[in-house]
Structure 1
Amino acid sequence: MLTSPDFLVPDREWCERRIPDGAGRPAADFFYSSMLGTNHGAHDRLRRLVVRELSARRVAALGLRVEETVAGLLDDFAEAAADGADADFQDLVALPLPVAVVGDLIGVPAADRLRLRQLGDDAGRLLEPVRSPEDWARADRGVSGLREYFTALLRERRARPADDLASALARGQRTDGAGESDGAGLTEGELVDILVLVFAAGFETTAGLLGQAVHALLTQPGQWALLRRRPDLVPAALEESLRWDGPVPMTERIAARPTELGGLPLPAGASVITVMAAAHRDPEWFADPDAFVVGRVDGRVLGFSAGVHYCVGAALARLEGAVLLRAMLRRFPELRAAGPPGRRTGDGLRGFTRLPLTV
């Protein structure tokens, strides 16, 4: 379903037809016109610029900064866990790490990141498969606040450019003498919404991945011990974590034409929830699917989706996860869980609100 041309993502036309209450809502306007809610040419022109700016070179260049950020956050974690105390890994490390990394990437000053993190968490309610009035209210508040902030940041970067994504996007909108734009003719609103999406998606899902990977490994002591002996398996451990308990369990697709799925006929326009978390436990693809096994060679992990909507930030998320796990294995080889974690509410995103650990 994720790769078939028979299925599209819900877009603005679908929203107007199926969610009349979305009319005039900032959250609906953002979601169904961003990369998440566009198809074909509209999606390509938005994605092309982001893929260019999140190139392998730019991500690799962030490596040293990620290592420095990880080291500082683990210092804070070690201090909080001194003398046998419990420390909340999610609050001290898993959440602030991707916020700092995506903040550095975009050019968000450190002093602004906590407020934007809260707005991004509100905007994340858009990923719920069924949105309550409260979800819509929070999403509207989050999107409006983020749009206001990034509009001002683009204006600032045009006056004082820096080496960051906001400056690159601001430059990309400029036209040459022939009126051609190397930013694919994106409007100011489209540039702002790219920054909103990169920021919100860049920390919400990665924070979930980091916390869930550490939790999975600590609930499987043999696998944590394996990584201590074989740190070269860290990338494989991240992939197994995405399969076993990934941050994005499902996504929605719309049948573009009459088709069939698993023997079930679907009319054009049918809405289908694709549950990747279920695919990841399919015994026809994964041997002993309920077991957490680092280094699996069977099946295909869909934690970053697939097809044209494959996550543009996958390489950055993997980099953050690999740097963090390797540093934790070196510094805290005896790391242990210290009580039950708290999970976030909702169905659209999985993650922890609290993950107490002891060193």
Structure 2
Amino acid sequence: MLADPGFLVPDREWCAHALPEWPGHPAADFFYSSMLARNGSDHERLRRPVAGAFTARRVAALRAAVERITAGLLDRFADATSGGGAANFQELVGYPLPVAVVGQLIGVPREEQGQFDELGRGASRLLEPVRTPEDWDRADRAVVALREYFTALLRERRSRPAEDLASALLDQRGAPGARLTERELVDLLLLVFVAGFETTTGLLGLMVFALLTHPVQLALVRADPALRPGAVEESLRWDSPVMMTERIAARPRVLAGTVVPAGGSVTVVLAAANRDPARHRDPDAFLVRRPDTRVLSFGAGAHYCLGAALARLEGAALLGQLLDRFPDLAIAGPPVRRAAVSLRSFDDLPLAATG
């Protein structure tokens, strides 16, 4: 379904027709103008300039930086748990790791990255299937602040270019077929930054929790480093950071025997697909040796997540260093999951370095 051209993402035109009260919100204006809510050639026009930052070669070049950032954050975790106590893994590692990586990719200085935790969570409320007035307020304030920040960053890069995505987008703006407006440049950076850490933050915490609550599987990964990529993949399948997405039928379609009329909205539950017994044998079991794992956690088709390879790289780097440095790592209290439906993550994941 995600790859079927007969199903489109909800775009600005759909929003204006189906939800006429939404476009007045800055958060809705951002979302339904962004790459996430574009179809066809318009989507490709926005995706193309960013795609160059996520090629296999560019991601591989980030490996040393990811390993270095991971080591520094695990130093902080080691210090926080050195007396035998517990520390919130998400606060010390799970959140700042992807923020630092995508911040380096885009060009956000390390000392300015701390402000993005609350802003990223606020903007992500727009992805929830049901939005309260409080959700709208948080999302609107976050988008306004983030647009102001990335407008200033682009202004800085015009006078002082650097080796980062912000500078690269400015270089490509006048390229044939690009036709990127100033607002589109700002919103591309906003989208890459928020999407680049919100979902990966979820992945890191969910992966560590899954392994620590399945000691037999954890022992297998400790004994055989070659299983680490498989452990990341199985974590994505077993507890996906992104639970669902939405598509609109461009014309009447038949889906699993049900007629979907033109304009009909369909919620695609990625987490259900990842546990489909017709695709994954014994789907509720967490098995790091599961053969032929194929996940939909990053979507599929034209809107497949550009940052999938980078997220996997961060997951593998963290898992390797974490298991090597903390052989007795253990959960040290009840975790607190984020109060959300669409995005899965932990707000508090208390861990101790000694079980």
Partner of 2:13: 13
Partner of 1:197: 191
Partner of 1:141: 141
Contact 1:90 1:354 in 2 (8 A): yes
Could you tell me how far 1:300 is from its partner in structure 2?
2.6
Contact 2:124 2:139 in 1 (8 A): yes
CA distance in 2, matches of 1:353, 1:255: 36
Matches within 5 A, 1:137-216: 137-173=137-173, 175=174, 181-182=175-176, 184-216=178-210
Partner of 1:228: 222
Could you tell me how far 1:54 is from its partner in structure 2?
2.0
CA distance in 1, matches of 2:277, 2:63: 37
Matches within 5 A, 1:57-96: 57-96=57-96
Contact 1:158 1:171 in 2 (8 A): no
Could you tell me how far 1:70 is from its partner in structure 2?
0.5
CA distance in 2, matches of 1:337, 1:287: 28
Contact 2:8 2:250 in 1 (8 A): yes
* Secondary structure of the structure 2 residue equivalent to 1:216: helix
Q: Give me the TM-score of the superposition, normalised by structure 2.
A: 0.97
Could you tell me how far 1:182 is from its partner in structure 2?
5.0
Q: Give me the TM-score of the superposition, normalised by structure 1.
A: 0.96
Q: Deviations over 1:252-308 (max 9, x none)?
A: 111111011111111001111100111122211111111000121245310110001
Alpha-carbon spacing, 1:37–1:258, altered in 2? closer, same or farther (3 Å): same
- Range 206-215 or range 338-347, more displaced: 338-347
Partner of 2:344: 350
Contact 2:234 2:293 in 1 (8 A): no
In the alignment, structure 1 segments of 5+ residues that lack a partner are 176-180
1:37 equivalent in alignment to 2:37: yes
Contact 1:158 1:170 in 2 (8 A): yes
Could you tell me how far 1:131 is from its partner in structure 2?
1.4
Partner of 2:111: 111
* Secondary structure of the structure 1 residue equivalent to 2:227: helix
CA distance in 1, matches of 2:14, 2:289: 41
CA distance in 1, matches of 2:183, 2:192: 14
- Range 295-304 or range 338-347, more displaced: 295-304
Code of the residue aligned with 2:339 in structure 1: it is T
Contact 1:287 1:298 in 2 (8 A): no
Code of the residue aligned with 2:316 in structure 1: it is A
* Secondary structure of the structure 1 residue equivalent to 2:266: strand
CA distance in 1, matches of 2:139, 2:97: 23
Partner of 1:218: 212
CA distance in 2, matches of 1:350, 1:137: 21
Q: Which of 258, 262, 284 in structure 2 is aligned with 1:264?
A: 258
* Secondary structure of the structure 2 residue equivalent to 1:251: strand
CA distance in 2, matches of 1:208, 1:182: 37
Partner of 2:315: 321
CA distance in 2, matches of 1:130, 1:42: 28
Code of the residue aligned with 1:112 in structure 2: it is E
Code of the residue aligned with 1:134 in structure 2: it is E
Partner of 1:178: none
Could you tell me how far 1:56 is from its partner in structure 2?
1.8
Partner of 2:124: 124
Identical counterparts, % of pairs: 63
Could you tell me how far 1:83 is from its partner in structure 2?
2.3
CA distance in 2, matches of 1:54, 1:183: 20
Could you tell me how far 1:187 is from its partner in structure 2?
0.7
Moved over 3 A (4+): none
Alpha-carbon spacing, 1:183–1:87, altered in 2? closer, same or farther (3 Å): farther
CA distance in 2, matches of 1:183, 1:41: 10
Partner of 1:309: 303
1:296 equivalent in alignment to 2:290: yes
Contact 2:233 2:293 in 1 (8 A): no
* Secondary structure of the structure 2 residue equivalent to 1:190: helix
- Range 319-328 or range 115-124, more displaced: 115-124
CA distance in 2, matches of 1:186, 1:259: 34
Could you tell me how far 1:53 is from its partner in structure 2?
2.3
Q: Deviations over 1:88-109 (max 9, x none)?
A: 1111000000001011111111
CA distance in 2, matches of 1:40, 1:130: 27
Could you tell me how far 1:116 is from its partner in structure 2?
2.4
- Range 134-143 or range 7-16, more displaced: 134-143
Code of the residue aligned with 1:294 in structure 2: it is V
